[in-house]
Amino acid sequence: MDGEQMTDATLPKLGALVDVPNEPGAKKPDPIVVGDDISRQFGGLRAVDVGHIEIQRGVITALIGPNGAGKTTLFNLLTGFDQPDSGSWTFNGQPIHKVPAFKVARRGMVRTFQLTKVLSKLSVMENMRLGATGQMGERWWMAPFRFLWEGQEREITERADELLVRFKLDAKKEDFAGSLSGGQRKLLEMARALMVDPELIMLDEPMAGVNPALKQSLLGHVKSLRDEGRTVLFVEHDMDMVRDISDWVIVMAQGRIVAEGTPAAVMADQRVIDAYLGAHHDTDLSDLDEAAIAEQVMTEIQEGE
Amino acid sequence: MDLMDVLRAALTQALGPNAIVFALAAIGLNIHFGYTGLLNFGQAGFMSVAAYGLAVTTVMADLPFWLGIVMSFLAPILLAIVLGVPTLRLRADYLAIVTIATAEILRLIFGSVEFKEQFGGSNGITGYAKTYKDMNPYSGELDLGILRFSKDDLWSVTVGWTLVALGCLLVWLLMRSPWGRVLRSIREDEDAVRSLGKNVFAYKMQALVLGGMFGGLAGLFLALKQASVVPSDYSTNITFFAYTALLIGGAARVLGPVVGSIIFWFLIAGLGSIFNQLTDGADPILPTWLMTDTQASLVRFIVTGLGLMLLMIYRPQGIFGDRREIAIDGR
């Protein structure tokens, strides 16, 4: 795919968000997901209580908020992995709030998991092949007859090979997925999700447990998803990532959407800073002298005693 | 002590009809547990409905033998669907509880006085196997010295190992396919499979039905080879012995359950023969205060259990299993 051309094509879409007011539940010019009155209760706890949410097509939207804000629960609800107490939402204009998870995925809304779910006793290549949809060999009455699905399997393998090269996992393709490092598993999960060819890809903490070197390449991969014309929604605690790559940020706290806007606007919002980011969120830790930080921490600990 | 006798007893059982029954049942469990991760503790139930499907149709309803065979194929399919619909959407342990309970319920119903008219009570049903016996092409017994089969057993062994071979071929064809890949993935993590757009419930149901059909085939074969259906033959023991055979051979391997069953019966029969000889006669080799001949028939199970424990400790993947698959654990 020609990356540069695609970037140009998506630029107007990014621009389209300029006119969107920076407020919770803001209407977007071209939403791919629209949800209303979504609520989910766990016992007495209202984990998700979202009045209105819209996700703009073709951009990268970040979903941030403190632990327990309901981000992952909202992910589970939208993708059919959990059932809401109330609420409805549409994907591409079609209501999908009562559609089972596997059908949601087939329609083009694919998620990854906070704790990666690679199939550790299958090879990396087998993990990838599993992602392809509409496989004839996956039907039991065709499965015993190799000649029926051989050709399709070859096509799937070619596509998987291309993706593995792009995600730099091609050297590992015959290894068991269980032998991959944490960061490589994140990459594999993302690559496998792409085998489904989703319109909307939902990443649950793609940076968690990933080392800094791999982080940069993961950032590049997420951007390239947008540049291919896909919509990305991701949950993340890593503010550097949110600042770097997201076009729009939705902030959740205690199950509600408390703020929305461009990264710059949200990070400057006093309520967001108080509720989540903390006063020093702007300080880039890599700029500080590590020895100085260590010294300061030691002093604080000693004083604390 | 006559080692020839021990070897003959062991080999005849290891290659005989009993090993075939276990091999077929264990092939089914391999599809359930080995490939898909479904915990079916009620394989005896699938065996019994197939056996009674044949016997009731042929004897009690007086319908043709071949219709009985058709029934013994349909009954396990029906049972799998009935068990699967409520449990396969739930966590794995629910299937285990429901299957073990169902197998027991079926056994008790088949043996009950209340339904003696329909199922023959604790004496079971006989008199349906004539067509099967008449098809026997052999004219005499087979005696190779260390391997001895009667005329009837020779026919059963021929039919049985053919079924086992065909079953293994089918499992091999299925498990190398993308269908098999989905099953193995479900065993690892259903949610991951679901997130990739696969209908996990449908695949689990297909696996439950297919494995249940192999259980049914085991029950049908057992009913044919011994020409009687008795409820006590379908106790929960048989399920766990089939699991033992599967684990000895190695789960998720095509030939695992077959080799496991052969080894299991070789050990059971061989040890039985050894302990029998040790405690036999007026002046047994082992003094009676140490072990009586009634105890001897049970000691073989203790020794087999010990062997299984050692196997699990030193070779947890079984004889055929892949060490690497075991070594990588969790995430």
pLDDT in tens, chain B (331 residues): 788 889 999 999 999 999 999 999 999 999 999 999 999 999 999 999 999 999 999 999 999 999 999 999 999 999 999 999 999 988 888 999 999 999 999 999 999 999 999 999 999 999 999 999 999 999 989 888 888 899 999 999 999 999 999 999 999 999 999 999 999 999 999 999 999 999 999 999 999 999 999 999 999 999 999 999 999 999 999 999 999 999 999 999 999 999 999 999 999 999 999 988 888 877 888 888 888 888 888 888 888 888 888 888 888 888 887 766 665 543 3
A193 and A172 within one domain: no
Among A232, A290, A254, A300, smallest CA distance to A73 is for: A254
Strands, E, within chain A: which ranges? 31-42, 45-56, 60-64, 86-91, 94-95, 109-111, 200-204, 231-235, 248-253, 256-261
Q: Are residues A298 and A221 in the same domain?
A: yes
Instruction: Give the model confidence (pLDDT) of A151-173 as tens digits.
Output: 999 999 999 999 999 999 999 99
Q: Are A221 and A187 spatial neighbours (Cβ–Cβ below 8 Å)? A: yes
Asked whether the beta carbons of residue A102 and residue B194 sit closer than 8 angstroms, the reply is yes
Q: Are residues A209 and A171 in the same domain?
A: no
Interface of B with A in 201-230 (CB under 8 A): 206, 210
Q: How many CA atoms lie within 13 A of B55 on its CB side?
A: 30
Residue to substitute from A82, A119, A175, interface B, most B β-carbons within 10 A = A119
Q: Using the Cα atoms of residue B189, residue B186, residue B236 and residue B16 in order, give the sign of their dihedral.
A: negative
Q: For chain B, where are the E strands, in sequence order?
A: 125-126, 142-143, 148-149, 228-229
- Which domain-ending residue is among A179, A205, A227? A179
The one-letter amino acid at B287: P
- Amino acid identity for residue B62 in this structure: D
Boundary (domain end) residue, out of A147, A179, A211:
A179
Structure tokens at B198: 């696969």
B192–A196 CB contact, under 8 Å? no
For position A260, which CATH number holds?
Answer: 3.40.50.300
Q: Which among B217, B241, B127, B89 has a CA at the least distance from the CA of B165?
A: B217
| A68 in B contact zone (CB under 8 Å) | no
Higher pLDDT, A292 or B21: B21
Nearest-Cα residue of chain B relative to residue A127: B185
Q: Where are the beta strands (DSSP E) in B151-298?
A: 228-229
Predicted confidence at residue B202, as pLDDT, reads: 96
What is the model's pLDDT at position B43? 97
pLDDT classification of A20: cutoffs 50, 70, 90 = confident
- Residue A36 pLDDT level (bands cut at 50, 70, 90): very high
Same domain, A134 and A113: no
pLDDT of A294 higher than 90: no
- How sure is the predictor about A4, in pLDDT bands with cuts at 50, 70 and 90? very low
The per-residue pLDDT for A12 is 47
Nearest in space to B227 (alpha carbons), one of B155, B166, B138: B155
Output A219 or A290, whichever has higher pLDDT: A219
Q: Which fold has domain B3-327?
A: ABC transporter involved in vitamin B12 uptake, BtuC (1.10.3470)
Q: Which residues of A153-180 are buried (b: 16+ CB within 10 A; e: fewer)?
A: beebeebbeebbeebebeebbeebbbeb
| Residues B13, B268: Cα–Cα separation, whole Å | 9
User: Contact A218/A234 with Cβ under 8 angstroms?
Assistant: no
Find the CB nearest B178 among A81, A103, A153: A153
Residue B315 contacts A where some CB pair is shorter than 8 Å: no
All residues of chain B having their beta carbon less than 8 Å from the beta carbon of residue A121 are 184, 187-188, 325, 328
Q: Report the pLDDT value the prediction gives residue B330, as an integer from 0 to 100.
A: 38
Residues A187 and A250 in one domain: yes
pLDDT value, residue A224: 92
A143 and B189 within 8 Å at the Cβ level: the answer is no
pLDDT of residue A271: 77
Q: What is the pLDDT at residue A7?
A: 46
Our CA-based measurement puts residue B203 at a distance from the nearest CA of chain A, in whole angstroms, of 9
Q: Indicate which of B176, B177, B209, B210 best probes the interface with A, i.e. most A CBs within 10 Å of its own CB.
A: B177
State how many domains chain A has: 2
Average pLDDT score over residue span A55-61: 93
Task: Mark whether A216 and A94 lie in a shared domain.
Answer: yes
CA B197 to chain centre: 34
Task: Among A135, A158, A179, identify where a domain stops.
Answer: A179
Residue of A nearest to B207 (CA): A140
Smallest Cβ–Cβ distance between B325 and the set A102, A121, A193 belongs to A121
Q: Which residue of B has its CA nearest to A150?
A: B177
Chain B partners within 8 Å of A178 (Cβ): 328-329, 331
CB B94 within 8 A of CB B87: yes
DSSP bridge partners of A257: A252
For the purposes of burial, counting CB atoms within 10 Å of the CB of B213, is it exposed (0-12), middle (13-18) or buried (19 or more)? buried
β-bridge pairing A31-42 and A86-91: antiparallel
**Residues spanned by the domain of A138:** 121-179
ipTM of the complex: 0.86
Banded pLDDT at A244 (limits 50, 70, 90):
confident
pLDDT at position A289 is 62
User: Is the pLDDT confidence value at A9 over 50?
Assistant: no
B197 Cβ under 8 Å from any chain A Cβ: yes
Of A101, A121, A153, the CB nearest to B195: A101
Which residues 130-149 on chain A approach chain B with CB closer than 8 angstroms?
Answer: 130-131, 133, 135-140, 142-146, 149
φ, ψ for residue A10, nearest 5 deg: -85, -15
Residues A191 and A215 in one domain: yes
Neighbouring C-beta atoms of residue A291, cutoff 10 Å? 8
Between CA B180 and CA A121 the distance in angstroms is: 13
| Chain B neighbors of A136, CB-CB under 8 A | 178
Same domain for A227 and A112: yes
Nearest CA-CA partner of B184 in B257, B110, B254, B98? B254
Task: Verify that A87 and A168 share a domain, yes or no.
Answer: no
Q: Which residues of B285-305 are buried (b: 16+ CB within 10 A; e: fewer)?
A: ebeeeebeeeebeebbeebbe
Joined tokens for residue B204: 């689990």
- Tell whether A71 and A219 lie within a shared domain: yes
For residue B312, is it left (φ>0), alpha (ψ between -120 and 50) or beta? Answer: alpha
